[in-house]
Amino acid sequence: MHFCISQHSTVGKQNRKWVYLIVLSVIWGTSYILIKKGLEGFSPIQLGAVRIVMAALFLFIIGFRSLRTISKKEWFWVGVSGIIGSFVPMFLFAYAETEIDSSIASILNSLVPLFTLFIGLMAFGVKFTKNQFLGVTIGLVGAAFLIFFGTKVNPDQNYWYAGFVVIATICYACNANIIKNKLQDVSPMGIAVGNFSVILLPGIVILFFSGFLDKEVVEGPYFLSSLGYIVILCIMGTCVAKVMFNKLVQISNAVFSVSVTYLIPIVGIFWGLIDGEKFSIKQLLAALVILLGVYLVNKKKTPQRASSNKN
């Protein structure tokens, strides 16, 4: 009887993690076009700050009590998680999309699992395989080709800004490992609310000095529409998805959880093409190379080598 209950629980957990993965891919795949639309009425610094403040207020309303699940010793890692997993990437993606298409940003986000593996190995002694090492190499090569081909298809865009996305993916990878290794006992809602309770004050300060309420901004032709896109982005792309992602990490593992990036590019490219973005066959091939790398990183195989620091 105990075996049957345990087996049923395991199957249920497996099903839940795939549901979370698919829903997150749709939400986050749509986030890039929402950022692009938000930039029509706001500067990158304004967009990032508005996201932080709005998301924090919304999370406080629905989950303030969850802060009780965070112990004193865990608050340090909750703060680090908030800074590198939310605060910094919000500004990096906003600046990146001032020069590169939203579809390209969504594809480059696929580098997250690759960096998750490397950081897990170096910082937490997570085991890795030869296939995973090969996958990281292939993924980075694919990213280089994607950026190179992008400069040919969109010569008027500054593809150096793609570097902001790469830095953001490293931040996400660090965050996934921190949640899995340091915050496993904190509720997903607690992590999310804790993250934003730490970054809310700097977000308010930045918003105050960003000129968000200046007359030329408020009376601009895109103020209301951009604000609407940011509200959707905050509620779905930041708040709902943040809690779901934290839960996904806890019921699976760091590398599986960031495999949401398999499907994000499909959604991102779809919205980009609808919005008139250019996307070539060569860029598609480069994107497939990145996803091949991600596949190899997630492929199950007996570890060939491991760090001496065991978990």
Give residue 10's pLDDT. 57
Predicted pLDDT of residue 245: 80
pLDDT digit string, tens, across residues 194-209: 999 999 999 999 999 9
CA dihedral 235, 189, 242, 118 (to 10 degrees): 170
**Percent share of the chain, pLDDT over 70:** 88
CA-CA-CA-CA torsion sign (73, 77, 80, 81): negative
What is the residue extent of each domain of the chain?
Answer: 19-298
CA atoms within a 13 Å half-sphere pointing along the CA-CB vector of 59: 31
Which region, left, alpha or beta, applies to residue 255 given φ > 0 means left and ψ of -120 to 50 means alpha? Answer: alpha
Distance CA 183, CA 148 (A): 38
For residue range 42-75, list pLDDT tens digits in order: 999 999 999 999 999 999 998 888 898 899 889 9
In this prediction the pTM is 0.81
The 10s digit of each residue's pLDDT in 152-162 is 888 888 989 99
Mean pLDDT of the 178-185 span: 88
CA separation for the pair 167, 88 (Å, rounded)? 9
